[in-house]
Chains A and B, each alone.
Chain A
Amino acid sequence: GAVVSQHPSWVICKSGTSVKIECRSLDFQATTMFWYRQFPKQSLMLMATSNEGSKATYEQGVEKDKFLINHASLTLSTLTVTSAHPEDSSFYICSARGGAGYGYTFGSGTRLTVV
């Protein structure tokens, strides 16, 4: 079945630094990657939708200059949290939708803690 590999699984960083999260589709081409954020005991909230070779579409209230998304190939999408602050601490998870017959495949998630 379709697999999305997400790295790192957890990261601790200092305030003001940047963190890059990668999602790779291992056995299918992910033309679209969705990035979600999940705070404790809350639902998954869509942050942005990235399409290979084009600019990401951000949801209302999500700062595109803070959450940089790059989808340079059909198998790799990255989310970079720039100048991270403690309030950015959350569980970030990607989801890809592949070709016909595939549903939505989730990465394993990244727990970001900003100290």
Chain B
Amino acid sequence: GENVEQHPSTLSVQEGDSAVIKCTYSDSASNYFPWYKQELGKRPQLIIDIRSNVGEKKDQRIAVTLNKTAKHFSLHITETQPEDSAVYFCAASNNAGNMLTFGGGTRLMVKP
């Protein structure tokens, strides 16, 4: 089955700096890669996703890049704000309605 590794497990940045979180996956059949933000005790919220026919996607301060050959994808947050502090999860699935396999999560702390 799919295995998703996520790094780092914790990340502390100064407000205004950029944050980068990286994930690798094992199943070459995976073609859907969402990123979720989860606040304590709440459901994961989709912040951005990318499909395997695209190498990069951007939405305001958030961008995701995908390297299918190397089987890794990354989340980039620019101009971080304290409200960006949360746990971020990457995930992967194939598009056949299969389940999402999550990475281990990254606790992002943005210091004001």
Contacts and interface: CB of A to CB of B under 8 A. Distances in A.
Contact of B102 (A43, A107, A109): A43
Interface residues of B, number: 17
Given A43-B89, A43-B104, A103-B49, A32 B97 contact: yes
Contacts of A45: 102
Interface in A50-66: none
Contact of A104 (B34, B41, B105): B34
Q: DSSP class of B's interface residues: helix, strand, loop or mixed?
A: loop
Given A43-B103, A103-B49, A97 B97 contact: yes
A106 B97 contact: no
Given A106-B43, A108-B43, A44 B99 contact: no
Contacts of A42: 104-105
B54 interface: no
A46 interface: yes
Given A43-B105, A44-B89, A107 B43 contact: yes
A89 interface: no
A91 B41 contact: yes
Contacts of A104: 34, 46, 93, 100
A78 interface: no
B34 A46 contact: no
Most buried by A among B99, B100, B101, B103: B99
Pairs of residues from A and B, 3 with the lowest C-beta to C-beta distance, nearest first:
A106-B43, A43-B102, A44-B102
Given A43-B104, A46-B101, A109-B43, 8 more contacts: A34-B99, A42-B105, A43-B102, A44-B44, A108-B42, A108-B43, A109-B41, A111-B41
Interface of A: 31-32, 34, 42-46, 49, 91, 93, 95, 97, 103-104, 106-109, 111
